Amino acid sequence: MKLPGLSPRIHSLPKAELHLHLEGSIQPTTARALMARHGVKASEQEVLERYGFHDFPGFLEAFKWVTSFLREPQDYALVATDLAERLLEQNVVYAEATLSVGVMLLRKQKAEANFEALLRSTEPFERRGLRFRWVFDAVRQFGAESAMEVLEAAKTCKSKRIIAFGIGGDELQVPTAAFRPVYERAAELGLHRLIHAGEVGGPEKIREAIELLEVERIGHGIAAIKDPVLMDLLAERKFPLEICPQSNLRTGALAHLLAREDVRIEDHPLPGLLRHGIPVVLSTDDPALFHTTLPAEYDAAKKMGLQESELEQICEMGFQYAFDPASKHQTT
Summarised one tens digit per residue, pLDDT across range 9-40 is 998 999 999 999 999 999 999 999 999 999 99
Given this model, what pLDDT does residue 331 score? 54
**Average pLDDT in the 82-103 region?**
97
Q: Which amino acid is at 126?
A: E
Given this model, what pLDDT does residue 56 score? 79
Range of the domain at 29: 13-322
Q: Burial of 329 by CB count in 10 Å (0-12 exposed, 13-18 middle, 19+ buried)?
A: exposed
Given this model, what pLDDT does residue 329 score? 55
Average pLDDT along the chain: 95
**Average pLDDT in the 202-224 region?**
98
Q: Is the pLDDT of residue 53 over 90?
A: no
Q: Is 199 a catalytic residue?
A: yes
Residue 160 lies in a domain: yes
Number of domains in the chain: 1
**Average pLDDT in the 215-224 region?**
98
Q: Is the pLDDT of residue 2 over 80?
A: no
**Active-site option among 96, 171, 199, 242:** 199
Residue 121 lies in a domain: yes
Residue 136 lies in a domain: yes
**Average pLDDT in the 210-224 region?**
98
Given this model, what pLDDT does residue 283 score? 98
Residue 36 lies in a domain: yes
Residue 225 lies in a domain: yes
Residue 313 lies in a domain: yes
Quote the CA–CA distance of 123 and 102 in Å, as a whole number.
24
Q: Which pTM value belongs to this model?
A: 0.95
Given this model, what pLDDT does residue 3 score? 74
* Domain of residue 139, CATH code: 3.20.20.140
Residue 261 lies in a domain: yes
Residue 158 binned pLDDT confidence (cut-offs 50, 70, 90): very high
Residue 300 lies in a domain: yes
Tens digits of residue pLDDT in 276-321: 999 999 999 999 999 999 999 999 999 999 999 999 999 999 999 9
